[in-house]
């Protein structure tokens, strides 16, 4: 009974419970068994029991420290108290200093009402009239939703949509030209939005001046949400061009997303044959063989499915319009016609419970750990290096929670509506030791998008550095057009190089007993770099970071802290390794 309960708890918190795309790969299990790559579990060994004792002591001490340095008992409390508001838990105040999370909290229940109305109208229209298809409903409600969000500024988004749609269809006969022009305009649109977002319509033409008197909606920053729309615009463009190219050649291309080759091409053809066979046997033309995620990316849709009506439905799809997750055009159209097996009460209920758990965790953090408020005024005078590092670590955690809540809220809406978009946060921040792995797990749907539309077209692993430079340059521009973000993007690429070189150099020693410990040391270095970078960029700035490093390496107490923390991080990384080995035993290989 207890074992069954434990198995259910493990599944509840497993990656598989988050996203049906993550499923056991039995070929992967068989290959690892043949090659001897699956190690026996270490959970019950003396080594790991020692780590459990360390966890039981260190983790509560970390919480105690960060609560102490940001609460009433601390001498710096008066400096940031003005950023705290009346809370609802345990009679404590709540940290409302993060604008994004404050906005989400204030609009959470109004958004629930909108979702309820949306789902009720969806069900009612499906019951009343079959002529209102899913895609037609998405298009109509999407228009209403965007006008409600941005008011008259929605026309600025529509302007970009029309230009992008027209560009790809005018130049569709020459794929390279259409690709270059689409990328050029897409990136240019980000610069245009940055420069002209506050301009009124009358500034462009006197004929447009009457538009300035119309409502501007509930959210004035229309350009921030356009960035997600741009990813969908580009997805439509490249999926359409790929489909056209395949049809012109009259053979299935061997160059597809994620390095897919003729194996997937054959599966696509087999899928088409199976669909025709299933339709004949059941006399139901809509009965199909369900495609997995890779096959949906290159689903052989009819060319008529790339029309302006479907294009509008996809770009303006309400559940995913504000913050994603990002789903490709081919996948969205396929799911609009064929509900995936993952859309079921059990999976959605588990996902909803996971969402509630992280929301409550964030609320407890916001009522006890005021690191965001403290960071607003740099209130860490007389703090030790350990206390400063805890502030940086918990700021990272709260940022991770905040983004996870936003992404899971909108993905949950889409799931209830029948669309299964990729999970964005497959691992939280504390379960990362690799720089590359971190970026694969953080905003995962965006990572998948970048791999399909940027990394693979630029040569993939054969030109990894060039592809990564292009990716992080685009990511920096996409986030915000500022020089320091471009520098940040290029530094991220440089930070990949040592890890890539060391991993390649030590791969041949995988079966040595010491390999696991050397790898853990590398993971510790990565964690230190990420913590210090976060402190520098978002917390204590240049002078504070230099001061902390001076205390760590030039004072006895600071150096003792550094040694103890490095040791604790080391066995934390070893536990992360074992978590991933446990996943591999189940046939799960997330590569992060």
Report the catalytic residues. 479
- Do 110 and 117 touch, CB atoms closer than 8 A? no
C-alpha separations of 507 from 68, 503, 522, 525, 585 in Å? 44, 6, 13, 18, 20
Whether the upstream peptide bond of residue 152 has omega within 30° of 0, thus cis, is: no
Helix (H, G, I), strand (E, B) or coil at 445: helix
Whole-angstrom CA distances from 60 to 64, 65, 365, 512 are 6, 9, 14, 34
Size (the chain), residues: 592
Closest CA to 164 of 132, 189, 133, 146: 189
Longest dimension (CA), the chain: 80
> Can you tell me the distance from the alpha carbon of 97 to that of 82, in angstroms, rounded to the nearest whole number?
9
579/592 Cα distance (integer angstroms): 11
Mapping DSSP onto H, E and C, the string for 342-387 reads CCCHHHHHHHHHHHHHHHHHHHHHHHHCCHHHHHHCCCCCCCCHHH
Decide if 519 contacts 437 (C-beta within 8 A): no
- With 0-12 CB in 10 A as exposed, 13-18 as middle and 19+ as buried, what is 50? exposed
DSSP H or E stretch at residue 564: helix 556-585
Dig out the tokens for 466 from the structure. Answer: 């060039």
Torsion of CA 6, 405, 486, 433, to 10 degrees: -10
Q: Where are the alpha helices (DSSP H) in 87-151?
A: 99-128, 134-150
Sort strands 93-95 and 84-86 into parallel, antiparallel or unpaired: antiparallel
Q: What are the helix and strand counts (H, E) for the chain?
A: 25, 2
CA end-to-end span of the chain: 33
CB 155 within 8 A of CB 211: yes
């Amino acid at each position: 009974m207890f074992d069954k309960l434990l198995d259910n708890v493990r599944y509840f918190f497993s990656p598989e419970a988050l996203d049906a795309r993550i499923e056991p790969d039995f070929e992967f299990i068989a290959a690892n068994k043949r090659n001897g790559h699956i190690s026996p579990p270490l959970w019950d060994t003396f080594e790991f029991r020692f780590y459990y004792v360390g966890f039981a002591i260190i983790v509560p001490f970390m919480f105690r420290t960060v609560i102490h340095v940001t609460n009433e008992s601390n001498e710096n409390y008066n400096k940031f108290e003005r950023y705290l508001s009346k809370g609802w838990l345990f009679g404590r105040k709540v940290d409302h200093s993060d604008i994004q999370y404050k906005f989400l909290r204030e609009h959470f229940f109004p958004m629930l009402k909108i979702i309820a109305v949306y789902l009720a109208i969806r069900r009612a229209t499906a019951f009343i009239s079959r002529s209102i298809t899913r895609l037609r409903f998405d298009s109509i409600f999407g228009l209403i939703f965007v006008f409600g969000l941005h008011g008259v500024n929605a026309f600025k988004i529509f302007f970009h949509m029309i230009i992008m749609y027209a560009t790809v269809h005018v130049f569709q006969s020459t794929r390279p030209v259409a690709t270059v022009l689409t990328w050029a305009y897409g990136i240019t649109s980000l610069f245009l939005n940055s420069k002209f977002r506050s301009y009124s319509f009358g500034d462009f033409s006197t004929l447009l001046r009457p538009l300035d008197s119309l409502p501007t909606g509930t959210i004035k920053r229309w350009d921030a949400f356009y960035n997600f729309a741009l990813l969908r615009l580009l997805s439509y463009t490249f999926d359409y061009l790929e489909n056209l190219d395949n049809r012109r050649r009259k053979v299935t291309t061997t160059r597809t997303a994620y390095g897919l080759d003729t194996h997937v091409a054959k599966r696509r053809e087999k899928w088409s044959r199976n669909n025709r066979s299933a339709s004949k046997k059941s006399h139901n033309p809509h009965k199909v063989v369900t495609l997995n995620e890779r096959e949906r990316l290159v689903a052989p849709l009819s060319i008529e499915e790339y029309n302006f009506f479907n294009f509008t439905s996809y770009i303006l799809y309400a559940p995913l319009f504000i913050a994603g997750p990002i789903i490709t055009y081919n996948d969205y159209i396929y799911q609009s016609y064929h509900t995936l097996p993952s859309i079921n009460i059990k999976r959605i209920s588990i996902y909803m419970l996971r969402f509630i758990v992280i929301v409550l965790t964030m609320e407890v953090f916001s009522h006890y750990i005021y690191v965001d408020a403290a960071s607003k005024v740099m209130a860490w005078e007389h703090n030790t290096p350990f206390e400063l590092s805890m502030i940086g670590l918990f700021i990272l955690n709260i940022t991770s929670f905040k983004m996870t809540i936003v992404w899971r809220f909108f993905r949950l809406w889409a799931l209830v509506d029948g669309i299964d978009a990729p999970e964005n946060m497959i691992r939280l921040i504390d379960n990362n030791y690799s720089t590359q792995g971190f970026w694969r797990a953080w905003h995962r749907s965006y990572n998948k998008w970048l791999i399909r539309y940027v990394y693979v077209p630029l040569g993939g692993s054969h030109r990894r550095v060039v592809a990564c430079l292009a990716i992080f340059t685009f990511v920096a521009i996409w986030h915000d057009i500022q020089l320091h973000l471009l520098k940040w993007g290029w530094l991220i690429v440089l930070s990949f190089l040592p890890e890539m070189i060391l991993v390649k150099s030590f791969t041949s020693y995988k079966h040595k007993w010491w390999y696991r410990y050397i790898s853990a040391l590398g993971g510790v270095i990565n964690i230190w770099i990420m913590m210090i970078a976060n402190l520098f960029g978002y917390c204590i700035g240049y002078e504070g970071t230099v001061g902390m490093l001076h205390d760590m390496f030039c004072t006895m107490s600071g150096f003792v802290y550094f040694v103890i923390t490095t040791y604790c991080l080391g066995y934390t990384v070893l536990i992360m390794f074992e978590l991933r080995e446990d996943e591999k035993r189940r046939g799960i290989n997330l590569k992060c």
